[in-house]
Chain A
Amino acid sequence: MNETNDNLSSRCVVLVPLERIDAAHHVAQRFKLNATFEHHPALAMAEICLLHQQENSVKAWNGGSTELNLVLIHATEMHNVQIMIDSIRKYLPHVLISELRDGRIERIENHGAIVDALEEPPIIHSEPVDADELSMLLDQTQQEVEE
């Protein structure tokens, strides 16, 4: 996601620690975010839920829909952010979650869930077999056949 991306012109909630609010305003101005600022993960989730409900209502009238965004700014400084992200992905999977990273707003991909969903491939050990072992194995196979 970059500065020209229009997705964030749709409604978004910015989760930022209170002491970083100046930085958040700066980011919102720079990226032209139509944002609501929250300083606690629970309240940020509540706001996203309300936007979701509002979106449903608007969708009923117009048939169209817009993206809902949650932007995390310095959110690692707060507790329970990961639990909030997990809950949003569970209940509101269509919400796009991004974070401020190296001066850019980038999408947080759900790599963890993808990896968790994969099954471990079977482990195959191919150790070298010398001539004696091979002969013994063949003999054993021969004996089993004769028996």
Chain B
Amino acid sequence: MVHRDTRSSIVFAGSFNEELISGVDQPVRCVNSVFDAIGELATCGASDLVETVVVDDQLLQEHTTEHLDALRRVDPSAVIVVAGTISASTQADALVPKDTTAAHLASAIINVKSQPALIHDDNEVDLDEVLGIADASKFIKDDSNLGDIDLVRALMHVPAKFKEVLIELLKQQTNWTSCEIIDDRPSAPESSQVAPLRYGHEEHGFLAATGTTSDELARWSHWVACWLELARKQRHLKLLAYKDELSGAWNRRFLRTCLSRELQIARDKRRPLTIMIFDIDDFKHYNDRWGHDAGDEIIREVVRLLNTIIRRGDHVCRIGGDEFAVIFCDPEPPREAGSNHPTTVEILARRFREQVANARFPKLGVEATGVLSISGGLATFPWDASDIDGLLEKADQRLLQSKRHGKNSITIGKDE
């Protein structure tokens, strides 16, 4: 097992003054050409990630676009800074003067990295799809004999198509010319009748139909509203069963269910699946010193930070008091030349650790800024283990290893 310091480095391509190079507070590699910079980006390992490439504009000459494209193609997540007076380098992430200082350069890089990331809305997650509940093969619909049983089946196996089945059944039962569920009255087709879909205090939109009477529509709209309310409650209960109330993250039950499904997909599609387990260093100390409110805020903030970093398809789970798991489901198949290289999990993990270290927690007071740290471990299918328990165990071992190495680190297990 290899413990890695995931400290990232900067590649300087071209000629830069010694003062700048020696003033940078990161490992530095100096190369003489853009081609060498591409080589550095492509061959760096998880322990010596190249995070930033600073290119002397003299090297770009009249091929700025191609050179910067090439760097981006190899690692789209790298920060590219052009140093010089070139004005056409808008493709670069940042421009600095050739005689820039280390502090100015660091500031430019931080500005690039701190640009807001996409925050994934949990509402976009199809819970049933993720959990493997939405298995259409279990839903056998007989179009010639639609009945309530079909609605129950749709609710259990294909909730995303529930409304569709509901409308289909309605059409068959009523022989209306047309009918649909709409969000507001103005959306209703001309010459149609509209009735609100209301169950108690819960609104579910409106039912619009043509070829009906208002009494008939009122009766059926109540029937439709009952079913829609049942579907809403069903979804709400499932969310309660799989969500952590305090942080809004998924819970341990979700972790195992989801991991089982994602592992099967990873096997079928021959792609990697990584799990990271981490906890907050000395969390008990924060709880004891600043109270449980502060501890709760830390938990919520950590989840919020993590949600700004993960990609679509990744899942954050709170599996214990201050223990979390992140399932990194790489949605990209082994990449083809010409496409973008997917952002590596190692980079995501390292950025997250840095963000936590720099986060502000008002309830801890100003003196506590920057004192929070996390320790974690990563395990990847198929290299580290091939089943859920093996992956979790390996990630957990590496978490303990991070603790033994003085905390505030993430141990990655990929061998050199």
Partner-B contacts on A (CB < 8 A): 11, 13, 36, 40-43, 45-47, 49-54, 57-58, 60-61, 79-80, 83-84, 86-88, 90-92
Determine the chain B residues whose CB is within 8 A of the CB of A49 once the complex forms: 38-39, 41-43, 74
Measured in the bound complex, the distance between the Cα atoms of B71 and A43 in whole Å is 8
The answer, yes or no, to whether B34 is at the interface (CB within 8 Å) is yes
- For B43, the closest partner residue in chain A by CB is A91
Apart from A87-B38, A92-B39, list 4 A-B contacts with CB within 8 A: A42-B69, A50-B73, A50-B74, A53-B341
Are A54 and B270 within 8 A (Cβ)? no
Other-chain contact of A57, B40, B73, B74, B334 (Cβ < 8 Å): B334
B39 → A minimal CB distance (Å): 3
Other-chain contact of B42, A11, A40, A41, A53 (Cβ < 8 Å): A53
Partner-A contacts on B (CB < 8 A): 33-36, 38-43, 63, 66-67, 69-71, 73-74, 270, 334-338, 341, 382-383
Are B66 and A43 within 8 A (Cβ)? yes
Are B341 and A50 within 8 A (Cβ)? yes
Measured in the bound complex, the distance between the Cα atoms of B41 and A80 in whole Å is 19
Are A46 and B335 within 8 A (Cβ)? no
Are A40 and B66 within 8 A (Cβ)? yes
* The 4 A-B residue pairs with the shortest CB-CB distance in the complex, in nearest-first order: A91-B39, A49-B42, A87-B35, A42-B70
Determine the chain B residues whose CB is within 8 A of the CB of A60 once the complex forms: 382-383
Determine the chain B residues whose CB is within 8 A of the CB of A46 once the complex forms: 38, 42, 69-71, 73-74
Determine the chain B residues whose CB is within 8 A of the CB of A53 once the complex forms: 42, 335, 341
Other-chain contact of A47, B33, B73, B334 (Cβ < 8 Å): B73
B385 → A minimal CB distance (Å): 14
Most buried by B among A43, A83, A90: A43
Are A90 and B39 within 8 A (Cβ)? yes
Measured in the bound complex, the distance between the Cα atoms of B69 and A90 in whole Å is 21
Determine the chain B residues whose CB is within 8 A of the CB of A42 once the complex forms: 34-35, 38, 63, 66-67, 69-70
Are A43 and B73 within 8 A (Cβ)? yes
Determine the chain B residues whose CB is within 8 A of the CB of A40 once the complex forms: 63, 66, 70
A147 → B minimal CB distance (Å): 57
Most buried by A among B34, B40, B337, B382: B337
Most buried by B among A13, A42, A50, A90: A42
B115 → A minimal CB distance (Å): 24
B288 → A minimal CB distance (Å): 45
Determine the chain A residues whose CB is within 8 A of the CB of B38 once the complex forms: 42, 45-46, 49, 87
Are B70 and A43 within 8 A (Cβ)? yes
Are B36 and A91 within 8 A (Cβ)? yes
B217 → A minimal CB distance (Å): 58
Determine the chain A residues whose CB is within 8 A of the CB of B337 once the complex forms: 11, 13, 36, 47, 50-51, 54
Other-chain contact of A54, B35, B41, B66, B335 (Cβ < 8 Å): B335
B414 → A minimal CB distance (Å): 9
Determine the chain B residues whose CB is within 8 A of the CB of A43 once the complex forms: 66, 69-70, 73
Measured in the bound complex, the distance between the Cα atoms of B267 and A61 in whole Å is 11
- For B31, the closest partner residue in chain A by CB is A87
28 contacts between A and B (CB under 8 A): A36-B338, A41-B35, A42-B70, A43-B70, A45-B35, A45-B39, A45-B70, A47-B337, A47-B338, A49-B38, A50-B74, A50-B338, A50-B341, A53-B341, A60-B383, A61-B382, A79-B63, A80-B33, A80-B35, A80-B63, A83-B33, A83-B35, A84-B35, A87-B38, A90-B36, A92-B39, A92-B42, A92-B43
